[in-house]
Amino acid sequence: MTVHDDIALGLNVKQGGSEAVRAKVQETARLLQIDALLERLPGQLSGGQRVAGRVLVSEHPGESTLVHVDCPAFPDGLVARFDGARAYREGESVELALPPLACHVFDADGQARERRFRCEEGAHPANR
């Protein structure tokens, strides 16, 4: 599954037609400045472009899926939100592609915290 396929996964159910999905994926990739990564497979992404961990809890509030992930890169835990319903089992290994600008860090009380990684000014998000 390529980066394009991963982004499109939740859209296929909501958008219906393949042209609408392709346009939405292109728009999303352009906004995140990752259009050059769309045809890559997860194994072809750098460590800064993906995160691996184990699923602690998967929940489905509304039309999205929240996955609470235990991973070494985020000692306080990581929660990933996906559009659409996806089934994840507790303990399942997952690998998430994360553009740094889409990451938000919160403490146990739900308060926003400063990010633990730096984005170099002028650097492409895929290489940060």
Average pLDDT over residues 78-105: 70
**Sequence ranges of the domains in the chain:** 1-45, 46-117
Average pLDDT of span 104-127: 54
Rama region for 24: left / alpha / beta (φ>0; ψ in -120 to 50; rest): alpha
2, 16, 67 from 83: Cα distances, Å: 17, 14, 11
Which pLDDT score, from 0 to 100, does residue 100 have? 57
> Where is pLDDT greater, at 59 or 128?
59
**Residue 91 — very low, low, confident or very high, per pLDDT cuts 50/70/90?**
confident
pLDDT score of 49: 63
Which residues lie closer than 8 Å to 20 by C-beta, 6 or more apart? 11
Question: What CATH number was assigned to the domain covering residues 46-117?
Answer: 2.40.50.140
pTM comes to 0.40
